[in-house]
């Protein structure tokens, strides 16, 4: 009897091969299609995304268009007037006269030109106001970005605390099973874990909110900001010198805008002060008249007229211009005075906060790490109690959180210093 042979195929059948290939392609493509943007979100990119929003561009362009339209309207010449007049008399001496003329009014005092210059000054003021708005948006983007970085650090520090407590609990649990640990120790460490878990959950909620606020400011460009945000919370370098910052304030957009507003008000006042210079009206045309006996005569018509400036009709405009000039001058002087006083104090605060944060981070990290290692080894050998171990863990966590608070305060002071000096735009 010949035994039967079982044949085994080394390769799958064509239909099965196609199915496996299709599944492989789907599995390979699925992560790429579903994966969110994983590129790091830096301070620079966050500010760029916040400033590139279409809504901000619409607001800026709309305000600028309004100012430019008003300036163009102020500088527009009056249109010439085309007039036709027909006079017909009936009776024994019936006559017919027809007149066709064109007249144009001329501004001898150049009030139109001055009002146009004032409008252009207001256009420049609107441009500077738009820069001031962008400066505020950039500062807000930096504040929200570093709020996320701050919350990330707190979550990380608390997660490390929870992990250390879990490791200690596992050690105590093994000792209790061997009969080397009291039930109190397990209860005490469970209480510590509850506190750590609750604090961590609260901080994670704070991180979620900070991430949502940042994403809202970036108009969708900051999707996944909680995990994508990356940067150093502590400023990398010291702030500029006080003299350099004070020199930079002269270019603050809001100060420049007030300067242009003042210029526009002065130009409006100059235009109003020329009320006594009359406008000149010139007229030219053609006139035809019936002179009787079926005859007609025609000829050129020319004329000139000036307005008699008996009453000052621009007094109200002059008063408005004077008030606007006074207000702009006062606002600029007040802002300059506040800047001089506030900038010096904020510069000293920013320097001091950075020094304190840097020194605390350098000293506390090493000391806390050494203490945790020493107490952990000592507790494993029976040298330290559980309470001393938990106290070391909590102290290390407190130091890490305090270092983050100091670094965040230093960063906030730097952002405010850049905004105050007008150097916060990228």
pLDDT, average across residues 315-339 = 92
Does 372 or 83 have the greater pLDDT score? 83
- List, in order of start, the domains of the chain with CATH numbers: 38-75+107-275+312-421 (1.20.1600.10)
Residue 140 token pair:
């807000």
Label each residue of 89-147 as H, E or C. Answer: ECCCCCEEEEEEEEEEEECCCCHHHHHHHHHHHHHHHHHHHHHHHHHHHHHHHHHHHHH
pLDDT of residue 126: 95
What own/partner pairs with CB < 8 Å and gap ≥ 24 does 348-354 have? 349/413, 350/239, 350/410, 350/413, 350/414, 350/416, 350/417, 351/238, 351/239, 353/406, 353/409, 353/410, 353/413, 354/234, 354/235, 354/238, 354/239, 354/410, 354/413, 354/414
| Weakest-pLDDT range from 356-365, 385-394, 399-408 | 385-394
Query: What is the per-residue pLDDT across 356-377, written as a single tens digit (0 to 9) for each?
Result: 999 998 888 778 888 888 887 8
pLDDT of residue 250: 86
Does 95 or 355 have the greater pLDDT score? 355
Q: Please, what is the average pLDDT of the chain?
A: 84
pLDDT, average across residues 34-38 = 48
176, pLDDT greater than 50: yes
pLDDT, average across residues 53-80 = 91
pLDDT of residue 308: 86
pLDDT of residue 222: 65
Run of H or E residues at 288:
strand 280-292
pLDDT of residue 17: 40
The DSSP call for residue 281 is: E
The DSSP call for residue 385 is: -
CA distance 345 to 342: 5
């Amino acid at each position: 009897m010949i035994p039967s042979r079982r044949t085994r195929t080394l390769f799958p059948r064509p239909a099965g091969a196609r199915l496996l290939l299709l599944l492989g392609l789907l599995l390979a493509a699925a992560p790429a299609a579903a994966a969110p943007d994983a590129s790091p979100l830096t301070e620079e990119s966050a500010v760029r995304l916040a400033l590139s929003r279409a809504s901000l561009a619409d607001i800026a362009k709309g305000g600028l268009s309004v100012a430019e339209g008003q300036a163009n309207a102020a500088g527009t010449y009056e249109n010439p007037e085309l007039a036709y007049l027909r006079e017909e008399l009936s009776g024994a001496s019936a006559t017919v006269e027809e007149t066709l003329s064109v007249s144009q009014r001329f501004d001898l005092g150049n009030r139109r030109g001055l009002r146009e210059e004032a409008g252009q000054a207001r256009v420049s003021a609107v441009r500077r106001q738009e820069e001031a708005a962008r400066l505020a948006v950039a500062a807000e983007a930096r504040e929200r970005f570093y709020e996320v970085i701050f919350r990330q650090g707190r979550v990380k520090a608390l997660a490390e605390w929870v992990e250390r407590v879990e490791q200690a609990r596992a050690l105590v649990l093994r000792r209790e099973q061997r009969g080397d640990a009291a039930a109190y120790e397990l209860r005490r460490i469970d209480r510590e874990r509850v506190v750590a878990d609750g604090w961590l959950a609260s901080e994670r909620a704070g991180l979620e909110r900070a991430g949502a606020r940042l994403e809202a400011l970036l108009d969708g460009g900051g999707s996944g900001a909680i995990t994508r945000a990356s940067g150093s919370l502590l400023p990398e370098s010291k702030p500029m010198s006080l003299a350099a910052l004070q020199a930079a304030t002269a270019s603050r957009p809001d100060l420049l805008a007030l300067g242009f507003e003042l210029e526009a008000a002065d130009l409006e006042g100059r235009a109003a002060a020329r009320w006594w210079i009359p406008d000149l009206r010139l007229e030219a045309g053609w006139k035809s008249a019936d002179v009787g006996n079926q005859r007609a005569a025609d000829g050129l018509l020319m004329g000139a007229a000036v307005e008699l400036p008996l009453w000052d009709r621009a007094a109200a405009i002059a008063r408005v211009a004077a008030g606007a000039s006074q207000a702009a001058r006062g606002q600029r002087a007040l802002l300059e005075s506040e800047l001089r006083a506030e900038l010096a104090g904020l510069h000293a605060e920013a320097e001091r906060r950075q020094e304190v944060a840097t020194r605390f981070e350098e000293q506390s990290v090493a000391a806390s790490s050494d203490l945790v290692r020493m107490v952990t080894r000592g507790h494993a050998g029976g040298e330290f109690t559980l309470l001393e171990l938990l106290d070391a863990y909590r102290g290390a966590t407190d130091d890490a959180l305090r270092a983050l608070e100091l670094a965040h305060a230093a960063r906030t002071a730097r952002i405010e210093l850049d905004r105050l000096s007008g150097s916060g735009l990228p």
